[in-house]
Amino acid sequence: MVKIFGKGFSLVELKVVIGIISLLALVALPSYRNFILRAEFIETKMAVGAVKVSFEVCAQMLGLAKVKNCQHKSYGIPAIKKSAKGVVGVELVSDIFKAIDVKSASEGDQVKIIATAPIDSKNANQTYTLTATLMTGGRVEWDKGVCSKAELC
């Protein structure tokens, strides 16, 4: 006569395992969501690159006295792009471009590049702002950049 012993897991053991997996999922999902948002926002952060390099070259070529001329559609600086479906908006902004009576910029003036995430993105209307401080000799010093939502940077 052969005795058959029960093989497998008891109901209590299965409930403990399910509880542990639930806790792990509860902790991991928000982190995963933030990871996905940050990964998608990298496209927005990278969009400032062309304007950044073009503006820096223009500022070094023209110098502080004529940096006011380093605007969109001039000296290789790309045109303003508005945020749209699948398109990151990028704009170069500064008071020195608007000032009519100012003939030249001065040391310490700032220029900002603002990139806006595409409107069909999960990060729609979120921005990344990169600020440049103008220095003598056409030198440009950039900050690390600021995101409209801290968890995106």
Domain contains 136: yes
Residue 19 has pLDDT above 70, yes or no: yes
Question: Is residue 32 situated within a structural domain?
Answer: no
Question: In b/e form, how buried is each residue of 81-114, taking b as 16+ CB within 10 angstroms?
Answer: bebeeeebbbbbebebbeeeeeeebeeebebbbb
Domain for residue 134, yes or no? yes
Q: Among 30-34, 96-100, 124-128, 147-151, where is mean pLDDT lowest?
A: 96-100
Establish if 77 belongs to a structural domain.
yes
Q: Kindly report, residue by residue over 37-82, the tens digit of the pLDDT.
A: 899 999 999 999 999 999 999 988 888 888 888 888 988 899 999 9
Closest CA to 151 of 29, 28, 31: 31
CA distance 18 to 128: 41
Instruction: Give me the phi and psi of 53, to 5 degrees please.
Output: -65, -45
Instruction: Determine, yes or no, domain membership for 105.
Output: yes
User: Could you tell me if residue 70 is inside a domain?
Assistant: yes
pLDDT digits (tens, 9 = 90+) for 95-131: 887 766 656 778 888 999 999 999 999 999 999 999 9
Query: What pLDDT was estimated at residue 105?
Result: 79
Q: What is the DSSP letter of 67?
A: G
| Residue 49: domain span | 41-152
Instruction: Give the separation between CA 34 and CA 28, rounded to whole angstroms.
Output: 10
Residue from 117, 130, 73 nearest 97 by CA: 73
Q: Are 121 and 39 in contact (CB under 8 A)?
A: no
Q: Is residue 11 part of a domain?
A: no
3 has pLDDT over 80:
no
In a domain, 25, yes or no: no
74 Cβ contact partners less than 8 Å away, ≥ 6 residues apart: 58
Note the pTM of the prediction, 2 decimals.
0.79
Domain count, the chain: 1
What pLDDT score does 5 carry?
64
